[in-house]
Amino acid sequence: MSSLKTPQVLELDPPTELIFRGPFNEIVTTSLKLTNPTNEKVGFKVKTTAPKQYCVRPNSGIIESHDEQQVSVVMLQPLEDIPLADRMKHKFMVQSMCVDDSISPDILDDAMRKADKKKLMDSKLKCSFVEEDIAEQPSSSKADTISASSFESSEHVLAPDNKSSEASLDNTPVTTITPSEQPTAGSTPGHNTGREGNLESEHVESELRLLRDRAKKLNEENKTLKTETDRLRQQFLTQSTTVNKPNRVATPPSSNFAVTPFNAFALLLIFIALVMGYIIGSSSSA
């Protein structure tokens, strides 16, 4: 029998669903506002079933009493690069717990990992992708069957349905962005938070645009290297075939007679013998 968990004290906006609006051929960002209406500090952590496809900033932190935190969620890949079956499984979870002054943001992750599971509060959000007023909604039947016990059994796993867990939650800290400063007296908190959230989103989009450009260049370099490797392999095979063929180059026939000092001397003796024979023959005739 599962134990009862503490209900979520943070107020989420949106409460149950993150909506990404197109066009999806470029970086798309949505936001999540976390509000702490209590008289205590609340630490939070944002997890996802697809950590390679989303960037969450900040993905953890501490929200002061009666304060709020704006969280940016950025889709790193174009929507057409994500299979439809995978999109339907994309989920986010906001995990939180009340903390005291002894817990700082630096040790929050470790404190939440070691905390009593009964003290942890969580809220789950599904994802929707909207382009030209047409929403690609995930299956509600699967989205509603996420078991809270799946989070309790493994801090890193989020089960999208009753089958075995298929994706790990993002538990790796990302680059921390300093939380928005407290609004000054006489200013409008909602207005300042919205403006700071927009500036933060623009900064994140700029960084991710650079990262995607670098990834594109690396892909091009990889293709070039692959082409060069194939060319060198083909060249090597051609050279190996040529070396293994028998040498059929015609060579001139070697001479049966080589002029050497010994041969020249023998010829000279033969010539002298012939001359002397001729002289002797002539003398005998006379």
Instruction: Convert the pLDDT of each residue in 243-255 to its tens digit.
Output: 666 555 555 555 5
The residue type of 189 is P
25 contacts: CB under 8 Å, gap ≥ 6: 78, 80
69 in helix, strand or coil? Answer: strand
Distance CA 156, CA 170 (A): 7
Name the residue with tokens 């670098």. Answer: 214
pTM for the full predicted model: 0.49
Residue 158: C-alpha distances to residues 120, 169, 170, 252 (Å): 15, 6, 10, 82
Sign of the alpha-carbon dihedral angle for 147, 148, 149, 151: positive
Helix and strand element counts for the chain (H, E): 6, 12
Whether the pLDDT of residue 94 is over 60: the answer is yes
pLDDT per residue over 183-235, tens digit each?
Answer: 444 444 444 555 555 666 677 777 777 777 777 777 778 788 888 888 888 88
DSSP letter for 213, please: H
The residue type of 71 is V
| pLDDT attached to residue 101 | 93
Whether the pLDDT of residue 35 is over 80: the answer is yes
Note the CATH number of domain 11-217: 2.60.40.10
Residue 278: C-alpha distances to residues 168, 264, 267, 275 (Å): 116, 21, 17, 5
Angle (nearest 5°) at CA 96 between 90 and 100: 160
| pLDDT attached to residue 156 | 40
Which of 94-108, 143-157, 166-180 holds the top average pLDDT? Answer: 94-108
pLDDT per residue over 113-168, tens digit each?
Answer: 999 988 999 999 999 988 755 444 444 444 444 444 334 333 444 444 434 333 44
Sign of the alpha-carbon dihedral angle for 233, 237, 239, 243: positive
DSSP letter for 79, please: G
| pLDDT attached to residue 67 | 97
Q: Strand 91-99 vs strand 121-131: parallel, antiparallel, or unpaired? A: antiparallel
| DSSP secondary structure, 5-21, as one string | PPPP-SEEESSSEEEEE
Distance CA 248, CA 258 (A): 26
**Bridge partners (DSSP) listed for residue 60:** 45
pLDDT per residue over 63-84, tens digit each?
Answer: 999 999 999 999 887 777 778 7
Q: Strand 121-131 vs strand 17-21: parallel, antiparallel, or unpaired? A: parallel
Domain coordinates in residue numbering, the chain:
11-217
